[in-house]
Amino acid sequence: MSDGSSSPPASPEPQCSPRKVIKEIKNGPATSKSAAALHPALPRTQQEERERPKKGTGVPAGDSSSVSWHPSEAGAEGDGVQVVQAAVLDRPGYAEMMKSALARIQVGDAGGAEAFAEMEQALKGLMDVSFKAKDFVLPVEFKTKWTRANENWLQMDIIADPLILTSGHSVDRFSHQLSSIHPGERLLTIPNHLLRDVITAWCLDHAIPPPSATSTSVASEDALPSEEEMQLLLENLSVQSVEQREEGLHKIQLSSTFSKGVNPCLDQWQDLLPKLMGLHKKWKSTWTRDLEEKRVTIMLNLSLHSPNREILAKQKQLPETLMETIERARKLGYPLTVTSKVSSLVATLSEYNTFRRKVVEIGGIEMLGLLLRSKDALLRNEASAAILALCTYDAIALSHVPNASLLECLSDGVVTDESLLLLERTSHRESVRDWIVSNVVVLMKVITKHGVGYVTSRGIQTAVGLIYHAVQEEEGRGRLETALILPDFVEVLRNLKTKEMPPERVFEIDSILMIAFAVAD
C-alpha cells in the first residue's frame, strides 16, 4: 500500500527467472520481455524474419504496425508493404497463406472471392518458390550433414554415390574411401538411396546429367572375380604364404563390398564360411587386428543379401565365432569398428530363430552388455540394437543384460536411439527406474539438444516417454521443476506436438507440460 511518501528510484530489472518465463510461455508466445532477457541470443522465427522491415523499403524500423502482414491483405493492390512481404515469402509462408485462405473458404467468409484469390496467389507463389528458384535448396530433412574437418573438400563436386556413415553423416563413397585411412574413421556404411534420388532430381532440374554410382567406383567390376579367380582366392586362404593369404582375404572383401553382399555366393562357394570362421585358429601366430576386421567385414557385407544372410544364420559355429571375436577385441584393444560390426551382424542375423537362440544360450547378451560401457556412441548404439534384436521374441532374455551396463547408458551423456529404447524396455527393473528418475535433467538435455546425446526424432520420442514415467514420482517431478533448462524444454515440447507424434506420446507431452506450467502458478 502507498503511504504517500516518495518511492525510491527503481532499480534495474533483474534477469527473469525460469518460473516467470514458464508462466509467460503458458500464457502466450515466447516473445515476451522476460523470455528475451533469459534468451537474448535466440534466433528469429521464420514469421519474425518475414515481418522484419527490409532496408530501402521506406518502412520505419520502429513502426511495427506498418510491417504487420496478414494473408487477407495479399490481394490488395497499391500496398507497397504487401509487395515487399510477398516477395520474401518462402514455402512455410505460402503454406500459412494457403491455410488462412482455406479456413476462410470453409467457414463461408463474406469475402469468399478474396479468399479464393488469396489461395490462387499462394499456390502460384509456392510453385514459383519450388520450381523457378535460381538456387535449389533441399528440404531440411534431406540436407547432408558434413563433418567440420571434411567440409571444404567434400563439397567440391556433386555426390555420385551417397553413403550414410554410422555417425549419421552422409558422404560420397569415393571420398569416403580416400578418407578411410584416417584414424577413427567409421568404415561401416549403408547406401543413402533417398539422398541419391534427391540429387538425381536436382541434376535433372538443372539440365545436368545425373551422376552414376559406378562412376566413382571404377574398380567395382574389376573387383568381382571370375569363378576361376574365386577358386584361386579360396585356395590362397589355406596356403603358407602370409602375403597370399592377406591378398586373398582383401580381394574377397572387395568383392563383397562392391557387389553389396551378392558375391561371393555362399550357396556356390560353400567352403568360404568354414574357412573364414577357422582363420584365427589356423593363422593364430600371424593374426592381426586388420585381418580380424576384414573377416568380419566380409560376413557383414554378405548379410546384406538375403540368400547369403540365410546361409550365414544357419552356420552352427558362427555365434561362438562372433562372441570370441568380441572377447578378443576387448582383451587386445582392437579398433571399436570391429565390435561395432560384430554387433551389427548379430542384430541382422537375429531374425532367424536358430541363430538368435544360440547366441542367447552361449551368453551373447552378457557379452554385448559389456559393450554398452564403451564411451563410443556408435558402438553403444549397435550393441543396444543387437540386444534388442535378440530379445524381440524373448522378453525374459532381457534379464541377462547387466544392470551396471544399463546404467552407463545415461551416466556420461553418450545417449543414442537404441540405448534409450533399451532403457525403456528394461525400466521395470527397480535399479534402472531409479536411475532414470535421477537423470531426468540428462533426458531433458537430450530433447533440447543441449550437447547431450546422438539421437534422431525416434530417440527423442523415447526420451519423452522415459521423462513422463519419471515425473510420476516425486523425485523426478522435483528434478524437472528445478532444472535450469526448463523454459527451453517446455518450448521444445510444445513444438514437438505440432509434428507427427503417436497419440500416446502426445498424451505424455501434455502431462509433462501440465507439471511444468504448474511451476509458474
For every one of its 521 residues, what pLDDT tens digit does the chain have, with 9 covering 90 and above?
444 444 454 444 445 566 666 666 666 554 444 444 444 444 444 444 444 444 444 444 444 333 334 433 443 334 433 333 444 477 778 778 877 877 777 676 556 678 777 877 877 777 676 655 444 454 444 444 434 344 343 334 566 666 666 555 666 655 544 444 444 444 444 556 666 666 766 666 555 565 554 333 334 445 577 888 888 888 888 776 778 888 888 889 888 888 888 889 999 999 899 999 988 888 888 888 888 999 999 999 999 899 999 999 999 999 999 999 999 999 998 989 999 999 999 999 999 999 999 999 999 999 999 999 998 888 999 999 999 999 988 888 999 999 999 998 887 778 999 999 999 999 999 999 999 999 999 999 999 887 677 888 889 999 999 999 999 999 999 999 999 999 999 999 988 887 678 888 999 999 999 998 887 66
The residue whose grid cell reads 535378440 is 390
Given 271, 286, 301, the domain boundary residue is 286
Cα separation, 512 vs 329, in Å, equals 43
Asked whether 311 and 273 are in contact (CB, 8 A), the reply is: yes
* 174-206: burial string, b at 16+ Cβ within 10 Å, e else: bbbbeeeeeeeebbbbeebeebbebbeebeeee
Among 309, 313, 297, 459, which Cα is nearest to 384's? 459
* 302-339: burial string, b at 16+ Cβ within 10 Å, e else: bbbbeebbbbbbebeebbebbbbbbebbeeeebbbbbb
In a domain, 65, yes or no: no
Asked whether 381 and 340 are in contact (CB, 8 A), the reply is: no
In a domain, 485, yes or no: yes
Give me the number of domains the chain comprises. Answer: 2
In a domain, 484, yes or no: yes
Three-class SS string for 386-440? HHHHHCCCCHHHHHHCCHHHHHHHHHCCCCEHHHHHHHHHCCCCHHHHHHHHHCH
At 239 the pLDDT is: 76
Given 266, 286, 306, the domain boundary residue is 286
Element (H, E) at 173: helix 173-179
In the numeric block, which cell numbers belong to residue 88? Answer: 520474401
In a domain, 332, yes or no: no
Domain range for 254 is 189-205+224-286
At 132 the pLDDT is: 53
Among 99, 68, 1, which Cα is nearest to 498's? 99
In a domain, 101, yes or no: no
Q: Omega of the bond prior to 225 within 30 degrees of 0, cis?
A: no
Cα separation, 244 vs 238, in Å, equals 9
Cα separation, 21 vs 516, in Å, equals 11
Alpha helices by DSSP H, 333-373: 336-349, 353-361, 364-371
At 274 the pLDDT is: 92
In the numeric block, which cell numbers belong to residue 495? Answer: 513444438
Asked whether 52 and 69 are in contact (CB, 8 A), the reply is: no
Cα separation, 262 vs 308, in Å, equals 7
Given 255, 270, 286, the domain boundary residue is 286
Cα separation, 145 vs 483, in Å, equals 31
Q: Please calculate the CA angle 162-167-170 and round it to the nearest 5 degrees.
A: 20
User: Concatenated DSSP letters for 107-140?
Assistant: TT-TTHHHHHHHHHHHHHHHHHHHHS-SS----G
In a domain, 56, yes or no: no
Cα separation, 89 vs 97, in Å, equals 10
Three-class SS string for 269-311? CCCHHHHHHCHHHHCHHHCCHHHHHHHHHHHHHHCCCHHHHHH
Query: Starting from the edge strand earliest in sequence, which strands make up the sheet with 162-165, in order?
Result: 170-172, 162-165, 189-191
In a domain, 196, yes or no: yes
In a domain, 280, yes or no: yes
